[in-house]
């Protein structure tokens, strides 16, 4: 019986599965990851059987073997390089977590200082690039500007367009993208409001520098509260990576053609923009505001979200992988309470969100479908408390996810993974001839 050749790298082979169809019988290797996940290796299936698998949306398909992030959706577990998100959220900072995700280990002090110094050094944009912002209308969608500007930045760093970057080159390219993504975001925000650009201050740490570029004025420095800097670090940590989600898979798809890092993450921005993915944090706030403005009760809205004919969802609820609580939602919810207390703010949308959550978790429609709050359900309220405007919410998600996208792009190349090119099942018209226009009905 022909065996499929194992292409699952160094994952453990845990026996075989047998595929039987008519007179076809083939053994398929079963691979097991370090957390006991099992996958059937089908990389030689078509060669040995002439058949392919079909899985639109890839809910049952593993696209790679990865060592970066592990999620257990049933148990609500999220770990980066083995370290639980709860510990990282409590003890670490975004740049340290980024280093862990990018380079596979927590940095020594010297390594962290070197990486931080690179980020501080490369925050500024080439002065020509500042003129690009005047080419966008004031109401241009920030995610459109972000994806465009990430590619524009690469024109000034052609030395990094070569995809075969050595370790040093990879760190240099990574530092430029992770640092400048903040500057692009801040300039986008200020340009839309007719405000002058505030240049980065290399003496400030990553989050403080971003808030400085966003909210300082030419003659008045932004007054940074430690709780706000901590809340922003936490927001970015909780968005840093998340296995093969839609945008990360997009970065891998583009990177698999050996496109450069800048264009690959720019594609990731475009995928993240979608309302079912990174656009959800903005839509949660819009949902809460509409419930408030229309004087709807939480129950009335839930009834609408359950009625398929209405075409609306309970935004911020549900997840392809988490069939239990998204651990990030729990962490953010706690942080929101803290930040609002420190700022002596009382956000009426928080009360609506908490009522929606309480009622949804007691409603069989949501419970039977294992729909729980995801990272987006409370993150918008945290961003509001920090002072980030609604149109910048998904941009904030992109800044947080940047280390995850870059790490996955690098892992794909380190594995020398072949170009991604899925197959399909054709179900259109069978063979027929061209009909001259005068003979057509």
Residues with active-site annotation? 319, 376
Residue 369 near ligand SDX by CB under 6 A: yes
What 3-state class would DSSP assign to 316?
A: coil
Nearer to ligand SDX, 227 or 289 (CB): 289
- Least CB distance from residue 345 to ligand SDX, whole Å? 24
Residues in 214-243 that interact with ligand SDX by CB under 6 A? 242
In this structure, is the dihedral angle defined by the CA atoms of residues 73, 79, 84 and 86, taken in order, positive or negative?
negative
In this structure, is the dihedral angle defined by the CA atoms of residues 34, 38, 39 and 40, taken in order, positive or negative?
positive
Count of alpha carbons within 13 angstroms of residue 221, beta-carbon side: 8
- Least CB distance from residue 305 to ligand SDX, whole Å? 5
- Least CB distance from residue 17 to ligand SDX, whole Å? 25
- Least CB distance from residue 81 to ligand SDX, whole Å? 17
How far apart (Å, rounded) are the C-alpha atoms in residues 108 and 115? 11
Residue 276 near ligand SDX by CB under 6 A: yes
Nearer to ligand SDX, 313 or 333 (CB): 313
Residue 305 near ligand SDX by CB under 6 A: yes
Binder to ligand SDX among 39, 107, 255, 316 (CB under 6 A)? 316
Residue nearest ligand SDX, Cβ-based: 318
Ramachandran assignment for 90, one of left (phi > 0), alpha (psi -120 to 50 degrees), beta (any other): alpha
Residue 371 near ligand SDX by CB under 6 A: yes
Residue 317 near ligand SDX by CB under 6 A: yes
Q: How many residues does the chain have?
A: 441
Q: Which stretch binds ligand SDX (CB under 6 A): 11-19, 117-125, 308-316, 415-423?
A: 308-316
What count of other Cβ atoms lies within 10 Å of the Cβ of residue 310? 10
How far apart (Å, rounded) are the C-alpha atoms in residues 300 and 214? 38
How far apart (Å, rounded) are the C-alpha atoms in residues 64 and 417? 9
How far apart (Å, rounded) are the C-alpha atoms in residues 392 and 273? 11
How far apart (Å, rounded) are the C-alpha atoms in residues 343 and 385? 8
Binder to ligand SDX among 198, 375, 383, 386 (CB under 6 A)? 375
How far apart (Å, rounded) are the C-alpha atoms in residues 281 and 142? 14
Residue 314 near ligand SDX by CB under 6 A: yes
Residue 374 near ligand SDX by CB under 6 A: yes
- Least CB distance from residue 90 to ligand SDX, whole Å? 19
Binder to ligand SDX among 132, 180, 282, 313 (CB under 6 A)? 313
Backbone phi and psi for residue 362, each to the nearest 5 degrees, phi listed first: -110, 5
Please give the C-alpha separations between residue 283 and each of 160, 217, 272, 378, in angstroms, as whole numbers: 36, 30, 13, 11
Torsion of CA 253, 256, 257, 260, to 10 degrees: 100
Give the DSSP H/E element, type plus range, for residue 77.
strand 77-80
Residue 327 near ligand SDX by CB under 6 A: no
Residue 280 near ligand SDX by CB under 6 A: yes
Residue 154 near ligand SDX by CB under 6 A: no
Binding residues for ligand SDX, total number by CB under 6 A: 20
Residue 66 near ligand SDX by CB under 6 A: no
Which residues of the shown chain bind ligand SDX in the complex (CB under 6 A)?
Answer: 242, 245, 276-277, 280, 305, 313-321, 369, 371, 374-376
């Amino acid at each position: 019986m022909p065996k499929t050749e194992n292409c699952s790298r160094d994952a453990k082979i845990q026996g075989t599965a047998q595929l039987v169809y008519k007179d076809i019988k083939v053994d398929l290797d079963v691979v097991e990851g370090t957390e006991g996940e099992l996958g059937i290796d089908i990389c030689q299936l078509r060669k040995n059987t002439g058949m392919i698998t079909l899985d639109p949306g890839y809910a049952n398909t593993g696209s790679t073997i990865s060592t970066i992030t592990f999620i257990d959706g049933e148990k609500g577990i999220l770990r980066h390089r083995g370290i639980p998100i709860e510990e990282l959220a409590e003890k670490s900072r975004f740049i340290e977590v980024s280093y862990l995700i990018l380079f596979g280990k927590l940095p020594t002090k010297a390594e962290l200082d070197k990486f931080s110094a690179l980020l501080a050094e490369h925050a500024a944009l080439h002065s020509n690039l500042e003129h690009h912002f005047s080419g966008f209308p004031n109401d241009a969608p920030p995610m459109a500007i972000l994806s465009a500007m990430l590619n524009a930045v690469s024109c000034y760093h052609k030395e990094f367009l070569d995809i075969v970057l050595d370790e040093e080159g990879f760190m240099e390219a990574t530092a430029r993208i992770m640092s400048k993504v903040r500057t692009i975001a801040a300039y986008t925000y200020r340009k839309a409001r007719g405000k002058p650009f505030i240049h980065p201050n290399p003496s400030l740490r990553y989050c403080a520098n971003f808030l400085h570029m966003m909210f300082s004025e030419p003659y008045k420095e932004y007054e940074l509260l430690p709780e706000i800097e901590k809340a922003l670090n936490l927001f970015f940590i909780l968005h840093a990576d998340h296995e093969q989600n839609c945008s990360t898979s997009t970065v891998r798809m583009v990177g698999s053609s050996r496109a450069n890092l800048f264009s690959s993450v720019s594609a990731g921005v475009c995928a993240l923009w979608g309302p079912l993915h990174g656009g959800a944090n903005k839509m949660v706030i819009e949902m809460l505001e509409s419930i408030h403005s229309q004087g709807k009760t939480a129950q009335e809205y839930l009834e609408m979200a359950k009625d398929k004919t209405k075409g609306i969802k309970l935004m911020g609820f549900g997840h392809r992988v988490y069939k239990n609580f998204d651990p990030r939602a729990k962490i953010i919810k706690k942080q929101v309470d803290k930040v609002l207390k420190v700022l002596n703010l009382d956000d009426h949308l928080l009360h609506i969100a908490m009522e929606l959550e309480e009622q949804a978790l007691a409603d069989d429609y949501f419970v039977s479908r294992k729909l729980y709050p995801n990272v987006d359900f409370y993150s918008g309220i945290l961003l509001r408390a920090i002072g980030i405007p609604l149109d910048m919410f998904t941009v904030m998600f992109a800044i947080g996810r940047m280390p995850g996208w870059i790490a996955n792009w690098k892992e794909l190349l380190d594995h020398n993974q072949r170009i991604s090119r899925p197959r399909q099942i054709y179900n259109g018209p069978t063979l027929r001839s061209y009909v001259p226009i005068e003979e057509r009905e």
